[in-house]
Chains A and B, each alone.
Chain A
Amino acid sequence: MNFSDFFLMRHEIVLTIIALIILVCEIFTHDDKKHPIMILALVLFGLHTVFGFAATNTGELFGGSFRNTQMTLLMKNILNIGILIILFQSFKWLRTPENAIKISEFYIILFSSVLGMYVMISSGDFLMMYLGLETATIPLAGLAAYDRYKEKSAEAGVKLILSSALSSGILLYGISMIYGTTGTFYFPEIAAKWAITPLQVVAFIFFFAGMAFKISIVPFHLWTADVYEGSPISVTGFLSVISKGAAVFILITILFTVFKSMAPMWKEVIWATSVITMTLGNLFAIRQQNLKRFLAFSSIAQAGFIFLGIIAGTQLGMTSVVYFVLIYIFSNLGAFGVVAAIYDVTGKETIDDYNGLYRTNPNLSLMMLVSLFSLAGIPPVAGFFGKFFLFTAAAQGGSYFYYILVLIALLNTVISLYYYLLVVKAMFLNRSENAIAYFKSDWSTKTALLLCLAGIVITGLASPIFSYIQSLSFGL
């Protein structure tokens, strides 16, 4: 290993340095003068995001445990964009008096979790992947419980850590069985030795269960609604897009490389889980009044849609998954951004509270409209393209197996449109005497929402983005 090898781990090293800088600043600042740290963290992470797009070499480190390819780089950059938006959006919440003394801890814990995700995405063997997964998950429990004075937040933290621990345990059990049957952790070697014996099938199922927990696939989704509802909104945004996105990225990579030989088998598993996830997610979302739970169930349904790209098993499939995660980051953070903006000022978060919002706060309502339409898949915003390409990838299979799945997915899109329209109805159609009064958001919230809006509008229409992702993808 020589000096130039360090640049293969550029993202991880830079992020660690940023976290350490914030830690040091934390020690040297007084309790009520923490606000400069927020600006510092924002600037540093912004620079990290921008410079993240600079090219690097591809290669492997640590004997193959850590792989850096153009695709892993792209995945990390996509997550960076989402995290930057979340940092902007969390500004106002962090400035409240209850959070004044623990501002830097937020950044340090967040960046630690992100570091874990980077490692997980770049992993070349199961050990590194598990290390990354745990580093990504455990700090999240601390973040979920950040609102110290709210019972629901504490409940969220406990639920998250306990269910994560159980699912990680099951995942590790699966990995141990993989090691037991193949004698190695490294992905390429396992792929070569995979014989699809019964024990290995069980190992796969345990592995899948562990990953499905992170992605909130039914029936491993039960933690999602309560944790999303109890956590502070920035953390909910982080959980719903970044954590989920990272898990999706590593799942599709492992399914396409390690478990290549048992593709027909895992395709059936994905078919079944995708159908139940989409359907149950949508059906439960219809009944929700609290917007955070509402968006939680909508996220569960969206995860079901993402599986359609995975089931294709083709280059188009992987492209559509990565593309959709990018668009999903913008749409979901746009919706959460509006919810956060309103919650920070008024403390209101139910659909009924949003009645008549257009008459008082037109810009926020329009932003919410655009985000919801993107989530529903309505043109001309990006969500349409994302969903359309996912369906195109799934239909590529050609047999009735795939077409029935696409049909079910399309019908679920219609159901999802219904509950997204419920929020639109509240904001635009309903009138209310005590609609939320007009307020101006501060610069950070506006920046976050504008970034999301730009993403939603541009990502769909600009085809170079899609072509670039396709050039890096690979199929079965």
Chain B
Amino acid sequence: MDILTLFIVIPAVTMLGIALTKNSNQARWVAAGGMILQLINAIRLIFSYLALRNAGDKSEMLFRKSYMWFETMNIQYAIGVDGISVAMIGLTSIVVVAGIFASWEMKDLHKEFFISLILLATGVFGFFICIDMFTMFLFYEIAVIPMYLLIGIWGSGPKEYSAMKLTLMLMGGSALLLIGVFGIYYKSADISGHYTWNILELSKGHIPVEWQRFLFPFTFVGFGVLGALFPFHTWSPDGHSSAPTAVSMLHAGVLMKLGGYGCFRIAMFLLPEGANEMGWIFIILTTISVVYGALGAIQQTDLKYINAYSSVSHCGLVLFAVLMANKTAMNGAIIQMISHGLMTAIFFALIGMIYGRTHTRIIGEMGGLMKIMPFLAVVYVIAGLASLGLPGLSGFVAEMTIFIGAFQHADIFHRVVTITVTTSIVITAVYILRVVGILLLGPVRNDHFLELKDARWFEKTSLVMLLLAIAGIGLAPLWLSNMIGDSLVPIIQKITVFVH
């Protein structure tokens, strides 16, 4: 079994295993075991990938396999990874394991919960390993649907409303995306003489420019809805806040990155002239996302909403960097995807743990948690510092790279938007430090909280995993940056050859 297909087989087998378990303890250990196996496979993939690259293999994608599926339409199960996909797979594996440990105490319909969670993860893994647009779309849709059940059954607050809004908006995005995909498919005959869904074949030529102008907005908006592009981000605050902890972690941490990845892998890569001509509209929209998301976060009093708006802001930064279309900015975009994925996962995990103890998410009702639960509070502070870009943690690496890359464009328009986006550093600092101050420091507002316990072993495992990853990337980013940078070379060649 090749290493990439394992990423779909392991979750499938885990789901089957969970269906056969008898009680919640067995279910959660099977889920954890399966996903830890997946994490080991991801680490193995990273090492094998780097080994092959160091041995001199310069092909665009490694570990490629393809099986013909629907022959008449040239639909194939075609898989392959490059440095970027490998990094994203690594991110997903860590977040999924952390999410399972964060949901250790799930009791209500626990089997169905873990099965839905792992089904969600399967869709994400499938999306990252496939390079055939049909199969990518198939896995993309698989990743959307369990969300409805996960939020609607196990969520809190206005969960039915949030679940329905999220599902319908994301499906709406994929509907728009499908138009773009069809357009690319039917124009692919101009490139290779026959219709193809394969991204690598499609990238060898280019689609007629008039069609690119029509298809680029559809594709970019289609993926952008998932990547929280303003004004299609409105599903995000309610969706993340109503979702149960692990689901928020997975969704904000990984699924929103599907949007960014898709924008970059399909919209920018296959439609570069369209991106060049129409990109400015989306640059403006993403700038608004970044600043508006951050400003929105300042206003909120509910911890989950603060984090949700923060995610809108950071994911907007990813899309912004992707649109900059140069190597540094795109490198920064990918690192930001990973960094933010880990950070938001850790935030949602912490919020879930705090809520599980205090039963409130309003920061004004809590205070002085540093004295009561020091472990959780310290982790929160570290995560907060990562989010606002403290050097030594991953957030700094990502944001610095993005701003340097964006600044490389010398024209007024790009400079103005770059400066606007840079202000988000300050605004992020405001809301992060404000929360830290009110929530963790200061007097204890509610005496009942004095009896609360600190983190338990499974919560500590979940948090430490993510923290180590954040710190690791912050202190030693070059291996990741080089892995991504090497894979970006052919992509940038394609984008800039036709652009400048």
B16 at interface, CB cutoff 8 A: no
B171 near A428 (CB under 8 angstroms)? Answer: no
A408 to chain B, nearest CB (A): 10
Chain A positions within 8 Å of B152 at CB level: 425, 428-429
A403 near B179 (CB under 8 angstroms)? Answer: yes
Q: Which of B73, B141, B164, B179 contacts A378 (CB 8 A)?
A: B141
**Which one of A122-130, A133-141, A392-400, A440-448 is at the B interface?**
A392-400
A421 near B70 (CB under 8 angstroms)? Answer: no
A379 near B141 (CB under 8 angstroms)? Answer: yes
B5 to chain A, nearest CB (A): 15
Q: Which residue of A lies closest to B215 (CB)?
A: A403
B294 to chain A, nearest CB (A): 30
- Dominant SS at the B interface? helix
Chain A positions within 8 Å of B167 at CB level: 417, 421
A413 near B141 (CB under 8 angstroms)? Answer: no
A413 near B153 (CB under 8 angstroms)? Answer: no
Q: Which of B72, B159, B186 contacts A396 (CB 8 A)?
A: B186
Q: Contacts A316-B73, A429-B160 hold; do A407 and B179 have CB atoms under 8 A apart?
A: yes
Q: Which of A380, A391, A466 contacts B142 (CB 8 A)?
A: A380
A411 at interface, CB cutoff 8 A: yes
A422 to chain B, nearest CB (A): 9
B148 near A391 (CB under 8 angstroms)? Answer: no
B69 at interface, CB cutoff 8 A: yes
A184 at interface, CB cutoff 8 A: no
Chain B positions within 8 Å of A425 at CB level: 152, 160, 164
Chain A positions within 8 Å of B172 at CB level: 411, 414
A384 near B141 (CB under 8 angstroms)? Answer: yes
A406 near B182 (CB under 8 angstroms)? Answer: yes
Q: B residues 145-165 with Cβ under 8 Å of A? A: 145, 148-149, 152-153, 159-160, 163-164
Chain B positions within 8 Å of A463 at CB level: 69-71
Q: Which of A378, A391, A396, A467 contacts B178 (CB 8 A)?
A: A391
Query: How far, in whole Å, are A428 and B112 apart by their CA atoms in the complex?
Result: 11
B45 at interface, CB cutoff 8 A: no
A107 at interface, CB cutoff 8 A: no
Q: Which of B71, B153, B164, B179 contacts A467 (CB 8 A)?
A: B71
B145 to chain A, nearest CB (A): 5
B433 at interface, CB cutoff 8 A: no
Query: How far, in whole Å, are A428 and B155 apart by their CA atoms in the complex?
Result: 13
A336 at interface, CB cutoff 8 A: no
Query: How far, in whole Å, are A421 and B153 apart by their CA atoms in the complex?
Result: 13
Query: How far, in whole Å, are A410 and B183 apart by their CA atoms in the complex?
Result: 14
A223 at interface, CB cutoff 8 A: no
A380 near B186 (CB under 8 angstroms)? Answer: no
B425 at interface, CB cutoff 8 A: no
Interface size class of chain B, counting residues whose CB lies under 8 Å from the partner chain: 20 to 34
Q: A residues 401-460 with Cβ under 8 Å of B? A: 403, 406-407, 410-411, 413-414, 417-418, 421, 424-425, 428-429
Q: Contacts A378-B141, A380-B138 hold; do A424 and B71 have CB atoms under 8 A apart?
A: no
B168 at interface, CB cutoff 8 A: yes
- Dominant SS at the A interface? helix
A45 at interface, CB cutoff 8 A: no
Chain A positions within 8 Å of B176 at CB level: 407, 410
Query: How far, in whole Å, are A22 and B140 apart by their CA atoms in the complex?
Result: 51
Q: Which residue of A lies closest to B175 (CB)?
A: A410
Q: Which residue of A lies closest to B151 (CB)?
A: A429
A410 near B145 (CB under 8 angstroms)? Answer: no
A322 to chain B, nearest CB (A): 14
Chain A positions within 8 Å of B153 at CB level: 428-429
Q: Which residue of A lies closest to B68 (CB)?
A: A463
Query: How far, in whole Å, are A316 and B75 apart by their CA atoms in the complex?
Result: 14
Query: Which residue, A378, A396, A417, A428, has most C-beta atoms of chain B within 10 A?
Result: A417
Query: How far, in whole Å, are A379 and B142 apart by their CA atoms in the complex?
Result: 6
A467 near B175 (CB under 8 angstroms)? Answer: no
Query: How far, in whole Å, are A319 and B73 apart by their CA atoms in the complex?
Result: 12
Chain A positions within 8 Å of B134 at CB level: 388
A392 near B142 (CB under 8 angstroms)? Answer: no
Q: Which of A373, A379, A398, A418 contacts B168 (CB 8 A)?
A: A418
Chain B positions within 8 Å of A396 at CB level: 186
Q: Contacts A379-B141, A425-B160, A467-B71 hold; do A417 and B182 have CB atoms under 8 A apart?
A: no
Query: How far, in whole Å, are A418 and B182 apart by their CA atoms in the complex?
Result: 24
Q: Which residue of B lies closest to A461 (CB)?
A: B69
Chain A positions within 8 Å of B185 at CB level: 392, 395
A470 at interface, CB cutoff 8 A: yes
B426 to chain A, nearest CB (A): 39
Query: How far, in whole Å, are A407 and B178 apart by their CA atoms in the complex?
Result: 9
Q: Which residue of A lies closest to B134 (CB)?
A: A388
Query: How far, in whole Å, are A470 and B139 apart by their CA atoms in the complex?
Result: 25
Chain A positions within 8 Å of B178 at CB level: 391, 406, 410
Q: Which residue of B lies closest to A412 (CB)?
A: B175
Q: Which of A379, A407, A411 contacts B138 (CB 8 A)?
A: A379
Q: Which residue of B lies closest to A418 (CB)?
A: B168
Q: Which residue of A lies closest to B172 (CB)?
A: A414
Q: Which residue of B lies closest to A403 (CB)?
A: B179
A428 near B186 (CB under 8 angstroms)? Answer: no
Query: How far, in whole Å, are A425 and B134 apart by their CA atoms in the complex?
Result: 29
Q: Which residue of A lies closest to B143 (CB)?
A: A379
Query: Which residue, B160, B171, B183, B185, has most C-beta atoms of chain A within 10 A?
Result: B171
Query: How far, in whole Å, are A378 and B186 apart by their CA atoms in the complex?
Result: 23
Chain B positions within 8 Å of A379 at CB level: 138-139, 141-142
B69 near A378 (CB under 8 angstroms)? Answer: no
Q: Contacts A379-B138, A425-B152, A429-B153 hold; do A413 and B70 have CB atoms under 8 A apart?
A: no
Q: Which residue of A lies closest to B141 (CB)?
A: A379
B164 near A418 (CB under 8 angstroms)? Answer: yes
B73 near A421 (CB under 8 angstroms)? Answer: no
B186 near A395 (CB under 8 angstroms)? Answer: yes
A378 to chain B, nearest CB (A): 5
Q: Which residue of A lies closest to B71 (CB)?
A: A467
Chain A positions within 8 Å of B142 at CB level: 379-380
A371 to chain B, nearest CB (A): 14
B183 near A403 (CB under 8 angstroms)? Answer: yes
B71 near A417 (CB under 8 angstroms)? Answer: no
A360 to chain B, nearest CB (A): 13
Chain B positions within 8 Å of A388 at CB level: 134
B19 to chain A, nearest CB (A): 11
B179 near A410 (CB under 8 angstroms)? Answer: yes
Q: Which residue of B lies closest to A394 (CB)?
A: B182
B220 to chain A, nearest CB (A): 16
Q: B residues 383-417 with Cβ under 8 Å of A? A: none
A424 near B183 (CB under 8 angstroms)? Answer: no
Query: How far, in whole Å, are A392 and B134 apart by their CA atoms in the complex?
Result: 11
A392 near B171 (CB under 8 angstroms)? Answer: no
Q: Contacts A378-B141, A421-B148, A467-B72 hold; do A413 and B183 have CB atoms under 8 A apart?
A: no
Q: Mark A318-333, 1 if CB is under 8 A from B, else 0.
A: 0100000000000000
Chain B positions within 8 Å of A392 at CB level: 73, 182, 185
Q: Which residue of A lies closest to B148 (CB)?
A: A421
Query: How far, in whole Å, are A396 and B183 apart by their CA atoms in the complex?
Result: 9
Query: How far, in whole Å, are A470 and B179 apart by their CA atoms in the complex?
Result: 24
B276 to chain A, nearest CB (A): 22
18 pairs across A/B with beta carbons < 8 Å?
A316-B73, A392-B73, A395-B182, A395-B185, A403-B182, A407-B176, A410-B176, A410-B178, A411-B172, A414-B171, A421-B164, A428-B149, A429-B159, A429-B160, A463-B70, A466-B72, A467-B70, A467-B72
Please name the 8 residue pairs, one residue from A and one from B, whose CB atoms are nearest each other, closest first. A410-B175, A395-B182, A429-B152, A379-B138, A379-B141, A414-B171, A463-B70, A414-B172
Q: Which residues of B contact A (CB under 8 A)?
A: 69-73, 134, 138-139, 141-142, 145, 148-149, 152-153, 159-160, 163-164, 167-168, 171-172, 175-176, 178-179, 182-183, 185-186
Instruction: Given contact pairs A378-B141, A429-B163, enumerate 7 new A-B contacts (beta carbons under 8 Å).
Output: A391-B178, A392-B185, A398-B186, A417-B167, A421-B164, A424-B149, A425-B152
